[in-house]
Structure 1
Amino acid sequence: MSINVKHIYEVYRRYLFFHVDVLKILRILCFRNFHGFFHFVLRYEKTGLLLIFYHQIVKALLGIFGSILFHFLFFFYLEHR
Protein backbone atom coordinates (compact mmCIF):
# COMPACT_ATOMS: atom_id res chain seq x y z
CA MET A 1 0.00 0.00 0.00
CA SER A 2 1.82 3.09 -1.21
CA ILE A 3 1.18 6.51 0.21
CA ASN A 4 0.08 8.95 -2.44
CA VAL A 5 0.80 12.59 -1.67
CA LYS A 6 -2.02 13.77 -3.93
CA HIS A 7 -4.48 11.53 -2.06
CA ILE A 8 -3.28 12.88 1.31
CA TYR A 9 -3.72 16.41 0.02
CA GLU A 10 -7.27 15.63 -1.21
CA VAL A 11 -8.24 14.10 2.14
CA TYR A 12 -6.75 17.07 4.00
CA ARG A 13 -8.48 19.61 1.74
CA ARG A 14 -11.83 17.82 1.94
CA TYR A 15 -11.74 17.47 5.72
CA LEU A 16 -10.45 20.97 6.27
CA PHE A 17 -13.62 22.21 4.59
CA PHE A 18 -15.65 19.62 6.52
CA HIS A 19 -14.15 20.87 9.80
CA VAL A 20 -15.22 24.43 8.95
CA ASP A 21 -18.74 23.16 8.19
CA VAL A 22 -18.95 21.29 11.50
CA LEU A 23 -17.92 24.41 13.39
CA LYS A 24 -20.52 26.46 11.50
CA ILE A 25 -23.23 23.92 12.35
CA LEU A 26 -22.21 23.91 16.02
CA ARG A 27 -22.29 27.69 16.12
CA ILE A 28 -25.72 27.83 14.50
CA LEU A 29 -27.24 25.11 16.70
CA CYS A 30 -25.67 25.89 20.07
CA PHE A 31 -23.69 29.10 20.26
CA ARG A 32 -26.36 31.50 19.02
CA ASN A 33 -28.84 30.33 21.62
CA PHE A 34 -26.29 30.56 24.44
CA HIS A 35 -25.00 33.87 23.13
CA GLY A 36 -28.41 35.53 23.09
CA PHE A 37 -29.30 34.07 26.48
CA PHE A 38 -26.10 35.25 28.15
CA HIS A 39 -26.31 38.76 26.72
CA PHE A 40 -29.91 39.02 27.90
CA VAL A 41 -28.92 37.92 31.41
CA LEU A 42 -25.85 40.16 31.48
CA ARG A 43 -28.06 43.22 31.10
CA TYR A 44 -30.35 42.31 33.98
CA GLU A 45 -28.03 40.63 36.50
CA LYS A 46 -25.60 42.11 39.00
CA THR A 47 -23.31 39.07 38.77
CA GLY A 48 -22.14 39.98 35.28
CA LEU A 49 -18.53 38.89 35.75
CA LEU A 50 -19.58 35.41 36.82
CA LEU A 51 -21.81 35.09 33.76
CA ILE A 52 -19.02 36.27 31.46
CA PHE A 53 -16.89 33.52 33.00
CA TYR A 54 -19.62 30.93 32.33
CA HIS A 55 -19.97 32.30 28.79
CA GLN A 56 -16.24 31.67 28.17
CA ILE A 57 -16.55 28.14 29.60
CA VAL A 58 -19.46 27.34 27.25
CA LYS A 59 -17.52 28.65 24.24
CA ALA A 60 -14.46 26.59 25.22
CA LEU A 61 -16.55 23.42 25.70
CA LEU A 62 -18.19 23.85 22.30
CA GLY A 63 -14.76 24.28 20.71
CA ILE A 64 -13.42 21.14 22.40
CA PHE A 65 -16.53 19.15 21.43
CA GLY A 66 -16.24 20.28 17.80
CA SER A 67 -12.57 19.31 17.67
CA ILE A 68 -13.18 15.85 19.17
CA LEU A 69 -16.08 15.24 16.79
CA PHE A 70 -13.98 16.28 13.80
CA HIS A 71 -11.08 13.99 14.72
CA PHE A 72 -13.38 11.06 15.45
CA LEU A 73 -15.11 11.38 12.08
CA PHE A 74 -11.81 11.88 10.27
CA PHE A 75 -10.22 8.71 11.68
CA PHE A 76 -13.49 6.79 11.21
CA TYR A 77 -13.35 7.75 7.53
CA LEU A 78 -9.72 6.70 7.22
CA GLU A 79 -10.46 3.30 8.77
CA HIS A 80 -13.54 2.53 6.63
CA ARG A 81 -12.77 3.94 3.21
Structure 2
Amino acid sequence: MAAGKIRYWAAAKDAAGVAEEPFEAITLGELMTKITQNRAELARVVARSSFLVDGSPVGKRAHDEVVLGEGSTVEVLPPFAGG
Protein backbone atom coordinates (compact mmCIF):
# COMPACT_ATOMS: atom_id res chain seq x y z
CA MET A 1 0.00 0.00 0.00
CA ALA A 2 1.41 3.38 -1.00
CA ALA A 3 1.30 6.46 1.19
CA GLY A 4 1.10 9.91 -0.34
CA LYS A 5 -0.96 13.08 -0.35
CA ILE A 6 -4.07 14.20 -2.16
CA ARG A 7 -4.60 17.85 -3.05
CA TYR A 8 -8.02 19.31 -3.66
CA TRP A 9 -8.64 22.34 -5.87
CA ALA A 10 -11.60 24.74 -6.16
CA ALA A 11 -14.96 23.00 -5.51
CA ALA A 12 -13.18 19.81 -4.42
CA LYS A 13 -11.34 21.77 -1.73
CA ASP A 14 -14.63 23.25 -0.51
CA ALA A 15 -16.32 19.83 -0.48
CA ALA A 16 -13.40 18.12 1.31
CA GLY A 17 -13.03 20.92 3.84
CA VAL A 18 -9.23 20.76 3.50
CA ALA A 19 -6.68 21.69 0.84
CA GLU A 20 -4.81 18.40 1.17
CA GLU A 21 -4.65 15.26 3.25
CA PRO A 22 -2.51 12.12 3.48
CA PHE A 23 -3.67 8.84 1.99
CA GLU A 24 -2.83 5.15 1.87
CA ALA A 25 -4.07 3.30 -1.22
CA ILE A 26 -2.83 1.01 -3.96
CA THR A 27 -4.84 2.44 -6.87
CA LEU A 28 -6.59 5.68 -7.72
CA GLY A 29 -9.89 3.78 -7.64
CA GLU A 30 -9.26 2.61 -4.08
CA LEU A 31 -8.30 6.15 -3.07
CA MET A 32 -11.49 7.60 -4.60
CA THR A 33 -13.57 5.07 -2.67
CA LYS A 34 -11.81 5.92 0.59
CA ILE A 35 -12.05 9.71 0.29
CA THR A 36 -15.71 9.73 -0.70
CA GLN A 37 -17.02 7.44 2.05
CA ASN A 38 -19.47 9.45 4.16
CA ARG A 39 -18.69 12.59 2.11
CA ALA A 40 -21.59 12.91 -0.33
CA GLU A 41 -20.69 16.38 -1.61
CA LEU A 42 -17.08 15.37 -2.25
CA ALA A 43 -18.30 12.24 -4.08
CA ARG A 44 -20.45 14.44 -6.33
CA VAL A 45 -17.52 16.73 -7.15
CA VAL A 46 -15.03 13.87 -7.62
CA ALA A 47 -17.39 12.15 -10.08
CA ARG A 48 -16.94 15.00 -12.56
CA SER A 49 -13.29 15.85 -11.81
CA SER A 50 -10.03 15.24 -13.62
CA PHE A 51 -6.96 13.87 -11.85
CA LEU A 52 -3.22 14.30 -11.96
CA VAL A 53 -0.92 11.68 -10.44
CA ASP A 54 2.57 13.04 -9.86
CA GLY A 55 1.85 15.78 -12.40
CA SER A 56 0.65 13.44 -15.17
CA PRO A 57 -2.98 13.47 -16.34
CA VAL A 58 -4.95 10.30 -15.69
CA GLY A 59 -7.19 10.99 -18.68
CA LYS A 60 -9.70 8.28 -19.50
CA ARG A 61 -7.76 5.41 -17.88
CA ALA A 62 -9.79 3.29 -15.47
CA HIS A 63 -9.05 4.46 -11.94
CA ASP A 64 -8.61 0.89 -10.72
CA GLU A 65 -5.74 0.52 -13.21
CA VAL A 66 -3.85 3.63 -12.08
CA VAL A 67 -1.33 2.33 -9.53
CA LEU A 68 -0.08 4.84 -6.96
CA GLY A 69 3.57 4.82 -5.96
CA GLU A 70 5.04 5.54 -2.55
CA GLY A 71 5.05 9.31 -2.00
CA SER A 72 2.64 10.01 -4.87
CA THR A 73 0.73 13.25 -5.09
CA VAL A 74 -2.80 13.05 -6.47
CA GLU A 75 -4.55 16.26 -7.49
CA VAL A 76 -8.32 16.54 -7.86
CA LEU A 77 -9.28 19.13 -10.49
CA PRO A 78 -12.97 19.93 -10.79
CA PRO A 79 -14.20 21.44 -14.05
CA PHE A 80 -13.37 25.12 -14.23
CA ALA A 81 -15.71 27.70 -15.71
CA GLY A 82 -14.60 30.29 -18.20
CA GLY A 83 -13.09 30.44 -21.58
**Do both share a fold (TM > 0.5)?**
no
Report the TM-score, using the length of structure 2 for normalisation: 0.21
Q: Which has the higher helix share?
A: 1
Report the TM-score, using the length of structure 1 for normalisation: 0.22
| Structure with bigger RCO (C-alpha 8 Å, 6+ apart) | 2
Q: Which has the higher strand share?
A: 2
